[in-house]
Structure 1
Amino acid sequence: MSSKRILFIARSELISPVLSRLRQEGYELLMSESLEGALKIISQKSPALIFSQVAMPGFRIHDLLDALESQEMQRRVIAVAEQGTAREAQQILEAGAGDYWLAPLQWDKVKAVLPGSSPQQAQNRTSVSEPGKHEIIGSHPAMQKVMALARQVASSKASVLISGESGTGKEMFARFLHNNSPRHAGPFVAVNCAALPEHLLESELFGHEKGAFTGAISRKVGKFELAHQGTILLDEISEMDLALQAKLLRVLQESEIDRVGGTDTVRVDVRVLATTNRNIEECARRGEFRQDLFYRLNVIPLRLPPLRERKDDILVLAGHFIRHYSTQYGLPAMEPDEEAAGWLVEYDWPGNVRELQNLMERAVLLAGQSGVIRTRHFLLEEDDLQDILEESQGNHAEEESLPFTQDDAAVAAIDPGGDDEIYPIHEMEKRMIMKSLKKTGGNRTQASELLGISVRTLRNKLSEYKKQGLVVS
């Protein structure tokens, strides 16, 4: 068995976010989209770790797990679900999977389970050790007040409860606290408390011993142990089951954990940060959250203001994201025109900073070589895409002079040339779709977001192009 071989049984767009990093780390990547192909690879190549999509056309992860068990091929399988449920997670773990994750794959999470990782190596791999990194952008008085408090308490071990609407940057603040603390050289471990049911979350937090429950085929080190001498972030803590809250309270009070099914107590030195997008104090009054745990977590409360309450920061943040994505995609420097800037300031931003970031990435890609971001690049109306497509014809000759990759060739195949030629809208639609896929490295989810369409619509369009003989990566 090679510790440098990893098998992916999944569609390419699901795993593309981590492929380049894995290759840089020297891992041999094996891929299949069928049970027969996967079993053949396992038999011949003996991968040490398998990431498997829960279901694809003609494939179910249960069939893989059954086959591995019947053929006595012991492999760690991590199930990856696009839209998981607690019941599905329980069934798959009981069938023998080593873990159950929600898509998309994230590098920080993948690198912590790479073959050969010991608990200590996993600690190191989940650490973020650069003080000053994850600086928070914002000059509005409300944000400066929160920042001042964060700086004041960063060096302590006090628990911090970070509250705010979705997209306000709660995890960013948690990382800021960690990176500006004496623990910055230790691990930073984040756990989504809303993603798993109670018994699975308990195992995720505290670990379990081999045989502790059906599917526990080996000992698992929990997140608290992985975060030893570092920081643990309990994301969306208000979604945690009341029974598990009692066990968490003991950990906070005694600084020790008990693995599920274990008999030995394990001491841990961990700073605890928690986030919530609900009014957790009101939840405690209604009996939906333990008051004693609330008081234990709420030693330092940080409330992040929504973006609509700090409009002075909108253009500053927009400019930051525009510069970031212009550099990332190799595009010229650009800025919003007066109309676009006015729209940005007046918009209500229900998705807060995360929504602004996603919108700026889309706008940068659609503005392309123009150097100016206009409101139509936000794709607010159906006619905006037509305007962008018509505008992009003027850049056609320049784009064709670029070095060709496979994606460039696909673009050229649908845009044969001639500055003065006019193309039907459906042909220009193909061009924009292929361009978005090129810019996102083939990630269909990101491409669909940039185009303002659903992933299903994008998938259907690509299927049409394949039937027409167009090579689509």
Structure 2
Amino acid sequence: MKTDRPTRILIVDDDPGHLITLKTIIGSWGYATETADDGDTAINRVKTESFDLILMDIRMARVSGIEALAQIKAYNPVIPVIIMTAYSSVASAIDALKKGAYDYLVKPLDFDLLKLTIQRAGEHAGLKAENERLREQLGGDLDAPNIIGHSQAMKALMDMLAMVAPSDATVLINGESGTGKELIARSLHRNSPRRDHALVIVNCAALSETLLESELFGHEKGAFTGADKRREGLFMQAHHGTIFLDEIGETSPAMQAKLLRVLQQKEIQRVGGEEVIQVDVRIVTATHRNLAIEVAEGRFREDLFYRLNVMPVDVPPLRERREDIPLLADHFLKKYADKNRKSVKGFSPMAMDMLLKYDWPGNVRELENAVERAVILLTGDHITEKQLPLNMVNSDGGQDLTAASAINGTRSLEAIEKEAILATLAATDGNKSEAARRLGITRKTLHNKLKRYNIE
């Protein structure tokens, strides 16, 4: 929660000694703290003052934390309330969660966990407003509604897009699988002078060389079996607009030569035709490969690389912008809660901690898949670690939850292997070559395992 003033926290407890201790410790973390000695005092203060967060004991002499929570939420449903409880009252704390509390902490308090929970609650309450403010601040006049993030890495990316988009320069977007390269391409087109014309998106890795050539350049009637009429290609569809060639690094040397001609001469020829057709197209490409290495090893044309690399744009992996994870997770939570018609209030502190510590080899796409899965599996109000994928590990090198299950004898090795394969395929968006690489096996071995486990 970032505002022009310190975050104001109301601490509510009828134990004077505990109240003073909490006020001193929380105040030392940079928060502005106020106190109330019972639930009724807290209710009155909330109605007359502005607080960003409430930390409240569940058992008090005059008005309990549960009763105060209900009245505070009725007056201000947005304010996050963290409940404190003794071990014997955990059932009551869970009831408080159902009635709108953000989370609960068990006494005696773990102050590291308290600090983390306060931070999470603040982020949860201020995510949408903060993201909108940051988007305006970082992006200037850039219209990029689907790009989410406030990290320094994303600030640099947004600044680059704001400069590059209005030009007509060829752009090469570099980034790992799942980082959102297509979103960047869409934003470039959306903020360019070509915005009123077509944006045509092509996944070069999904088409064979022959089919890709026909798709891009079109073909004449009779050019090949099944070509019963002339067909205009995607370059013509993108005339005066933008064409986005995703996974350009997967194209063959022959196709690279044809693309070089388009870049140099701004002209194409249909397959089977002799007519030279002029095209006015801005070309944006993307790859998860390091094309400089591909050039050095002879797999990519050097002249084409320099033609494509006029304006390189690098999209950071999610592990290098972890501060964006809460924003992204909240965005996906709302998306899939709405889609599945579920009322989900947020993530538990432990679940969010796991999201922050995980390395996300599949990047934003993997995070989105994890949140969607969690929402589908959820039966309560808050996503906990129980709904998160089993392959997530602690950042301190903690034990893989899947491995822990095997050690405890709860799952077979076959089940664990199948789970790992499915998770890796999901993280790589079904790319079997990339999945095999990450699993440390050959593509043929992966194929055999898919067949063995009846995975299509």
Q: TM-score range by the shorter chain?
A: 0.5 to 0.7
What CA deviation, in whole Å up to 9, does each residue of 1:27-82 have, x standing for no partner? xxxxxxxxxxxxxxxxxxxxxxxxxxxxxxxxxxxxxxxxxxxxxxxxxxxxxxxx
| CA distance in structure 1 between the aligned counterparts of 2:345 and 2:320, rounded to whole angstroms | 26
What CA deviation, in whole Å up to 9, does each residue of 1:280-305 have, x standing for no partner? 01111222111111111111101111
Q: Does 1:138 align with 2:149?
A: yes
What CA deviation, in whole Å up to 9, does each residue of 1:266-319 have, x standing for no partner? 121111000000100111122211111111111110111111111111111101
Q: Does 1:371 align with 2:374?
A: no
Q: Does 1:349 align with 2:360?
A: yes
Alignment of 1:105-124 (within 5 A): none
Q: Does 1:263 align with 2:296?
A: no
Partner of 2:217: 206
Three-state SS of the structure 2 residue aligned to 1:232 is strand
Deviation at 1:135, TM superposition (A): 3.1
The equivalent position to 1:305 in structure 2, one of 308, 316, 323, is 316
Alignment of 1:32-431 (within 5 A): 132=143, 134-368=145-379, 370-380=380-390
What CA deviation, in whole Å up to 9, does each residue of 1:358-413 have, x standing for no partner? 11111112224x220001011428xx99xxxxxxxxxxxxxxxxxxxxxxxxxxxx
| CA distance in structure 1 between the aligned counterparts of 2:240 and 2:340, rounded to whole angstroms | 38
| CA distance in structure 1 between the aligned counterparts of 2:193 and 2:237, rounded to whole angstroms | 17
Three-state SS of the structure 1 residue aligned to 2:205 is coil
| CA distance in structure 1 between the aligned counterparts of 2:249 and 2:273, rounded to whole angstroms | 27
- Percent identity over the alignment is 53
Deviation at 1:172, TM superposition (A): 0.8
Whether contact under 8 Å (2:370, 2:389) holds in the other structure is: no
Three-state SS of the structure 1 residue aligned to 2:312 is strand
The one-letter code sitting in structure 2 at the alignment partner of 1:255 is K
- Asked which structure has the greater CA Rg, the reply is 2
Q: How large is the RMSD of aligned CA atoms in angstroms?
A: 2.5
| CA distance in structure 2 between the aligned counterparts of 1:284 and 1:456, rounded to whole angstroms | 38
5+ unaligned residues in a row in structure 2: which ranges?
1-141, 392-400, 403-449
Partner of 1:436: none
Distance 1:459 1:191, change over 3 A: closer
Whether contact under 8 Å (1:134, 1:172) holds in the other structure is: no
Partner of 1:11: none
Three-state SS of the structure 2 residue aligned to 1:331 is coil
| CA distance in structure 1 between the aligned counterparts of 2:196 and 2:356, rounded to whole angstroms | 39
After superposing on structure 2, the runs of 4+ consecutive aligned residues of structure 1 that deviate more than 3 Å are 454-460
Count of matched residue positions in the alignment of Structure 1 and Structure 2: 260
Distance 1:357 1:455, change over 3 A: farther
Distance 1:352 1:455, change over 3 A: farther
Distance 1:455 1:367, change over 3 A: farther
| CA distance in structure 1 between the aligned counterparts of 2:384 and 2:453, rounded to whole angstroms | 25
Whether contact under 8 Å (1:326, 1:334) holds in the other structure is: no
| CA distance in structure 1 between the aligned counterparts of 2:351 and 2:452, rounded to whole angstroms | 29
Three-state SS of the structure 2 residue aligned to 1:190 is strand
Partner of 2:112: none
| CA distance in structure 2 between the aligned counterparts of 1:457 and 1:322, rounded to whole angstroms | 31
| CA distance in structure 1 between the aligned counterparts of 2:176 and 2:286, rounded to whole angstroms | 10
Distance 1:288 1:458, change over 3 A: closer
| CA distance in structure 1 between the aligned counterparts of 2:454 and 2:373, rounded to whole angstroms | 16
Deviation at 1:194, TM superposition (A): 1.4
Deviation at 1:333, TM superposition (A): 3.7
5+ unaligned residues in a row in structure 1: which ranges?
1-130, 386-453, 461-473
The one-letter code sitting in structure 2 at the alignment partner of 1:148 is D
Deviation at 1:182, TM superposition (A): 1.4
Three-state SS of the structure 1 residue aligned to 2:378 is helix
- What is the TM-score of this pair, normalised by structure 2? 0.54
Distance 1:456 1:359, change over 3 A: farther
The one-letter code sitting in structure 1 at the alignment partner of 2:177 is S
